[in-house]
Amino acid sequence: MKQIDFYFDFWSPYAYLASGRLAEMAERHGFTINYCPIDLTRAKLEAGNTGPPNLAIPPKIRYLMTDLRRWCARYGLPFGGVPKSKDTKRINIGALLAQDRGLARDYVREAYDATWGQGGDPSSDELLTSLAAKLGWDADEFLGYISSPEAEERYEAVFAAAAERGVFGVPIMIVGEEMWWGNDRLEFLEEFLGSQA
């Protein structure tokens, strides 16, 4: 089966925007998605991007909020504002368990709705417990997994593989040796997927 590697972090609003459309695109063109959660801040630093974060530049954050509202309106997505925490490590790791259970698409959709869609705190046990319930999972088992050394080791391995491939931000989509960065590159990706039929 043909595969798209999708690199994302639940801290990224542009990965939020891309995730739903990417899932539809993949289905339309007969591709599967390999969901690859990574730490966006670390990916930038690994690639040598040491500039200030968007939230440190007031004019840029004002524009960013307007831009996100526009994109969400275009895609019919809710926009709850900036999530209450940047700590996405555990919610990111949860995507690996979802991948194992064949529920990665559902997990990513629900997790993005809870964070960027509703403005929730991705680090809170309350949000994570609610997310587990939506997927029909045992909350204690889920919280145990996403805090376990073995899950963290697996998350680190995904990051190391991403860095090796030159992943410098999110959302990044890779098919074979071809890479696309950003929600606004999905049209180019779709053209490519169509050419692979």
Tokens of 114: 């809870």
Distance, in Å, from the CA atom of 175 to the CA atom of 3, rounded to the nearest integer, reads 6
Q: If you search the block for the tokens 């630093």, which residue do you land on?
A: 45
Question: How are strands ordered across the β-sheet holding 2-8?
Answer: 31-37, 2-8, 172-175, 178-181
Strands 2-8 and 31-37, bridge-based pairing: parallel
Q: Which of 12, 19, 147, 148 is catalytic?
A: 12
Greatest C-alpha distance within the chain? 45
HSE toward the beta carbon, residue 102, CA cutoff 13 A? 0
* Annotated catalytic residue 124: no
**Catalytic residue ranges:** 12
